[in-house]
Amino acid sequence: MTPGGAPAARIAVLADIHGNLAALEAVADDIDRWAPDAVVVAGDIVNRGPQSAECLALIQQRRRHGWLVVRGNHEGYVLDVAGAHQPRQGLEEEIRRSIAWTCRQLGDVAPLAALPAGISLGAPDGGEVRIVHASMRHDRDNILESTPDAELREQIAPAPAVLAVGHTHVPLVRAIDDTLVVNAGSVGMPFDGDHRASYARLAWGRRGWQAQIVRIAYDRAATDRAFARSGFFAVGAAAWIIYDEFCSAQPQLSTWLALYHWRVVTGELSVAAALDQFRSDFGHTRGGS
């Protein structure tokens, strides 16, 4: 956990950019106008989108001006594939091919390896604002509105005044005991049906910490063009499912994997057939939404 500096009374938290440059630029501009004391990126800058290299470059530029950055699970996926791309079976290999494409776009992945797993900032009252990607347990651990209180207490332990996360791509503000739990949602790939970019504002006041989820409209057509021009679709079936996620603002990849992985492994379906059947069953057509 990176130690905090001077107490921060206003903190912006953004997460899950996923290679969507237009969304990141719009959120960064809004954060600049708000002018917080600290800005923290809670992971998943790269992968699952067409402009990972450009997004990482912008975040690195912002780091030189004080932004703080946490490593997410997708940074981990990229580092894993860049280190040794071990072939997988069925649809898992399709997904890893899309990650390998991101690796090629990035070239140097060393900056991802240097990112910390968490950031801790001091609050005006001496308390702690902690930012991690998903939970204190691990970087793929969903904190949801439906998470039972007993489990949530495990996910935030040791409990800070504020725990801010991302990962689920669904914004959340939830209080438990003396902790405010905030999910900033997703800048580049929301999964709550709202296509707008999302980030969180944390503000200290007379009543303690308050959280606001901010939604930002951005030039989605620019991102759509980036998908088309980047060569991303040539990666294969997983790229089209990821594009469906962008178009629908709903999770698709995990469902596709769960429904069709073993049918592909056993030879019942080809990868192409698994893509076409999924998109037909769920109302998508090849080429867009």
Tell me, yes or no, whether 270 and 205 share the same domain.
Answer: no
Angle between helices 220-229 and 21-34 (to 10 degrees): 150
What residues in the chain have per-residue pLDDT under 70? Answer: 1-6, 85, 284-289
CB 129, CB 121: distance < 8 Å: yes
Residue that has been written with the tokens 């903190």 in this structure: 11
Instruction: Tell me how far apart the alpha carbons of residues 242 and 236 are, in angstroms, rounded to a whole number.
Output: 11
Which conformational region is residue 178 in: left (phi greater than 0), alpha (psi within -120 to 50 degrees), or beta? alpha
Lookup: tokens for 250:
């709903």
Lookup: tokens for 170:
């669904």
Domain end marker among 216, 239, 263:
216
Work out how many domains the chain is built from and give that number.
2
Angle of CA points 213, 149, 3, to nearest 5°: 60
Lookup: tokens for 112:
């991802």
Tell me, yes or no, whether 31 and 170 share the same domain.
Answer: yes
Tell me, yes or no, whether 206 and 254 share the same domain.
Answer: no
Tell me, yes or no, whether 180 and 275 share the same domain.
Answer: no
Instruction: Tell me how far apart the alpha carbons of residues 233 and 15 are, in angstroms, rounded to a whole number.
Output: 24
In a domain, 239, yes or no: yes
Tell me, yes or no, whether 107 and 141 share the same domain.
Answer: yes
CATH code for the domain of 211: 3.60.21.10
Question: Chain-centre distance of CA 35, in angstroms?
Answer: 23
pLDDT at 278: 94
Burial class (CB in 10 A: 0-12, 13-18, 19+), 265: middle
Global pTM exceeds 0.75: yes
Lookup: tokens for 60:
């690195």
Tens digit of each residue's pLDDT (9 = 90 or more) over 219-247? 999 999 999 999 999 999 999 999 999 99
Number of neighbours of residue 125 by Cβ within 10 angstroms = 10
- Whether the upstream peptide bond of residue 3 has omega within 30° of 0, thus cis, is no
Question: CA Rg, the chain, in Å?
Answer: 19
pLDDT at 286: 42
Tell me, yes or no, whether 271 and 171 share the same domain.
Answer: no
Question: Chain-centre distance of CA 144, in angstroms?
Answer: 15
pLDDT at 285: 45
Lookup: tokens for 226:
């980036």
> What does pLDDT average to over the chain?
94
Residue 54 belongs to what H/E stretch?
helix 52-63
pLDDT at 37: 96
Q: Which domain holds residue 26?
A: 10-216
pLDDT at 208: 93
pLDDT at 281: 87
Q: What is the 3-state composition of the chain as percent helix, strand, coil, each rounded to the nearest 5?
A: 40, 20, 40
pLDDT at 88: 82
Q: Which residues share a beta bridge with 208? A: 205
Residue 264 belongs to what H/E stretch?
helix 253-265
pLDDT at 287: 39
CA distance from start to end of the chain: 41
pLDDT at 7: 82
Tell me, yes or no, whether 58 and 92 share the same domain.
Answer: yes
